[in-house]
Structure 1
């Protein structure tokens, strides 16, 4: 494993996030435009600072085709990008990333969101049993927290997840405020992102929480997540996380490890098939896990194949 953000880098200047009022379905276009403008200004500031890589990353976020619910170019960066028509979507997936995800590595995270969006579109073709019933879906790539480095002490503790959980809860609350109570809302939580989802889960207004490549959630069972959502879990047979000890211990006042393995019977999640993929393959095109995740998001849970 090679960390993508392990090196220390100087602080990159960027403007404060755009000042937005209450976002509604009717004001989405204005919100997207304001955040694109903020990303464009962040690109100019990064370029003036001499950081051409960040300037290019920010400039890509500012493209007219990008729909940003949120953007903050400061530090490692924060964003929430929508793929699809959020105002019309009946099914919405929110992707929560794991370690080493930042604006500097955002392209790989966005690629996974694009793969899920493509698969949702493919599976949403009306069937003969429901020839006039479309199943529109949108995907939100949520980079709303400072992720830990793959090789760091923070990746073995819940500290970053505890900081991120209130942000995720607030984001889901705002998202429900935009789309209303009707759409089916699913969290897809990868790797350390599953620790974030575990911390945010109690009382969260979502229908599904899917944990993929999870080292654990910080609790002993799905019941301990205190959520009304259906909890799912999967691990590819070639995922190195399967070799990580699933323990939790208190060392000098710091909790290390994340407890029960989410794919174990003891945890109590609905375990679905993920094929033979590795840690970064859960949303790879054509994969078993991607097919199943799309079925979960679309509410076609009877078609999910099990491990």
Structure 2
């Protein structure tokens, strides 16, 4: 698929590849998506009333010694949010919040307002030597959180399995996984899903969170950020300010950068896409329309981007963390630092 990039105003001359019938079709399709989303999405969103919820618990920046208190305070906040949602008549949100309030949950942050935000820890974060942070894509909210959480839990289980298998007679590295729903994700069928606006808002929050994480784990820990779908756009925006070892782009529609070098990160940059992932058919276009950038440009899977491409198996767009998959095994190898064992496409 040709990679198209439009810059500036709608004026000639354009590059020859942008004058092809395929290029013109993609532009028309892009405009159709914009017009449809501009009309349909606001009307759809307007049909759902806001759900009352308490303000987030006011807490100091957590440290290894205060993690337990932070978890308890955020569980209590989630329990209150559940009761308020139930009183409002939203049983689905009430159930989602109630699940997060369970005694076994380790919530680093929680905010039940709007679509909601939550940051959940799997494992002993205070003593982890290897930490994975998952950044979700579109349509991830408190209402759909369990599917995102399932991926984080599957990775945590796989890390424990592979770390133990690779340790031999020695001690296996201590690991933790963090599910970071720390931003308001766009809807898949919406104008925000094809523009970098939500990513620009989220990037400072992701940078701040990684800094907070470092305050808990210490500078010697290895942190890998695993970014899925629109989450890859968020990670690309934040990349230059992230103190991480590896940056992984999964099912990316593009990042807004022309190359891995343009991310200005010292982290190793990886990319993967499942054989059945529909995002492969997304046009790698970046156009300036009416003062707004639409599309995310170069495919991170392309040789010109310069990422370390690895095998993700036959899965689709939501299958990167499926237990038993080639993708999950490779992700665990990257997090554990077993990069020589990573299989390539």
Shift of 1:298: 0.5
Structure 1 residue corresponding to 2:114, chosen from 75, 78, 84: 75
Question: Aligned with 2:300: secondary structure?
Answer: coil
Distance 1:137 1:75 in 2: 32
Q: In the alignment, what sits opposite 1:115?
A: 154
Query: Equivalent residue for 1:3?
Result: none
CA–CA separation in structure 1 for the residues paired with 2:179 and 2:166: 28
Q: Is 1:210 matched up with 2:248?
A: yes
Matched, 1:91 2:130: yes
Residue 171 of structure 1: which of 192, 209, 214 is its match? Answer: 209
Q: CA deviation at 1:46?
A: 0.7
SS class of match (1:209): strand
Q: 1:192 maps to what in 2?
A: 230
Unaligned runs of 5+ in 2: 1-43
Residue in 2 that maps onto 1:247: 285
1:198-256 per-position Cα deviation (integer Å, ceiling 9, x unaligned) = 00101310000000000011110000000010000000111110011111110111000
**Structure 1 residues 130-149: aligned runs within 5 Å:** 130-149=168-187
Q: Within 5 Å, which residues of 2 pair with 1:7-86?
A: 7-8=45-46, 9-86=48-125
2:313 to 262, 271, 275: 275
Kept after mapping to 2: 8 A contact 1:126/1:133: no
| Deviation for aligned residue 1:23 | 0.8
Change in 2 beyond 3 A, CA 1:254/1:127: closer
Which secondary structure state, in structure 1, belongs to the residue aligned with residue 143 of structure 2?
A: helix
Determine which structure has more spread, i.e. the larger CA radius of gyration.
2
Distance 2:257 2:170 in 1: 43
State which of 197, 201, 222 in structure 1 corresponds to 2:260.
222
Maintained 8 Å contact 2:166/2:172:
no
Q: Across the two proteins, how many residue pairs are aligned to each other?
A: 302
Per-residue CA deviations over 1:151-184 (Å, capped at 9, x if unaligned) read 1111000001001101101111101111110111
Matched residue, 1:231: 269
Q: Secondary structure at the match of 1:275?
A: coil
> Helix, strand or coil: the match of 2:127?
coil
Please identify runs of 4+ aligned residues in structure 1 that moved more than 2 A: none
Structure 1: segments with no counterpart, 5+ residues: 1-5
| Larger helix percent | 2
Give the TM-score normalised by the residue count of structure 2: 0.86
Give the alignment's TM-score, normalised by structure 1.
0.96
**Deviation at 1:127?**
3.9
Distance in 2 of aligned mates of 1:188 and 1:57: 24
Counterpart selection for 2:190 from 152, 159, 169: 152
The Cα shift of 1:294 comes to 0.4
Give 1:126 deviation, angstroms: 4.9
